[in-house]
Structure 1
Amino acid sequence: MELNQTADFTKCCKDSGFLMVVKCRRENSALKECLTAHYTNPDFYEECKMEYLKEREEFRKTGIPTKKRLQKLPTSI
């Protein structure tokens, strides 16, 4: 996904407040097009699938979710 579309949409929403539904239609459409292009890309699908399978395999070995494994342990106990 292009970082630009995400940043544009985020900025528009922050700047518009409650009016974002009306004011950010163009940015929302650009973001949807970008996401759709990635979701229909077979290479991207395979990359995501392999990442998921790797994380699942690691969880089955350790019983610890990826998020918890990546957190730093406290240095003083």
Structure 2
Amino acid sequence: MVLTHSEQDAEATNFPVKSVGGPRGLGDPDDRKLRKVEKEVLIPKIMRDKAKKEKCIEEVAAFEECCKNASVFMVVKCRDQNEKLWGCLTKWYKDEKFIGECTEIYLKERSDFRRTGLQKKYRDYLKNRDDKHSEE
């Protein structure tokens, strides 16, 4: 059996044939369809990080402080702080607007990756490096 070039690419990357393409062969940058792993793993990771860093700052700080002070006994001593933290996080995990916001963040990062072939951390590094050179 003879495979076309795109079928060979799809076979090598385990992507369906329709996903391979775009400027770097990583998929269509404008595609907004989400795979199961993106919905159930990657977007919730963004939600978790964003909620901890931007939405539940006080609860995270209180829990971390309690854990530092309680050391080995943190499981027993920090129950209240842990419950407050999980209450805050759960509230945000169920917020439809927040879910949509995090989904858009993910789709933009995926689109940029498909367009450039570079992961976010490398794009950020190159941008910062270029900004430093332009200041000189």
Normalising by structure 1, we get a TM-score of 0.88
Counterparts of 2:122 and 2:77, CA distance in 1: 39
Q: Which residue in the other structure is 2:108 paired with?
A: 54
RMSD over aligned Cα, in angstroms?
Answer: 1.7
Q: Which residue in the other structure is 1:45 paired with?
A: 99
Q: Which residue in the other structure is 2:26 paired with?
A: none
5+ residue gaps, structure 2: 1-54
Counterparts of 1:17 and 1:69, CA distance in 2: 39
Q: Work out which of the two has the higher radius of gyration on C-alpha atoms and give 1 or 2.
A: 2
1:1-77 superposed matches below 5 A: 1-71=55-125, 72-73=128-129
Counterparts of 1:70 and 1:25, CA distance in 2: 38
Q: Give the aligned residue type for 1:29.
A: E
Normalising by structure 2, we get a TM-score of 0.52
Counterparts of 2:63 and 2:81, CA distance in 1: 5
Return the offset for 1:39.
Answer: 0.4
Q: Give the aligned residue type for 1:73.
A: R
After superposition, what is the alpha-carbon deviation per residue over 1:9-44, rounded to whole angstroms, capped at 9, x for unaligned?
111111111211111000000000000000000000
Q: Give the aligned residue type for 1:55.
A: E
Q: Identity, % of aligned pairs?
A: 41
Counterparts of 2:118 and 2:104, CA distance in 1: 19
Give runs of ≥4 in structure 1 deviating > 3 Å: 72-75
Question: Using CA pairs below 8 Å that are at least 6 residues apart, which structure has the higher relative contact order?
Answer: 2
Counterparts of 2:101 and 2:109, CA distance in 1: 12
5+ residue gaps, structure 1: none
For this pair of structures, how many residues does the alignment match? 76
Deviates more, 1:37-46 or 1:2-11: 2-11
Counterparts of 1:32 and 1:2, CA distance in 2: 9
Counterparts of 2:68 and 2:117, CA distance in 1: 39
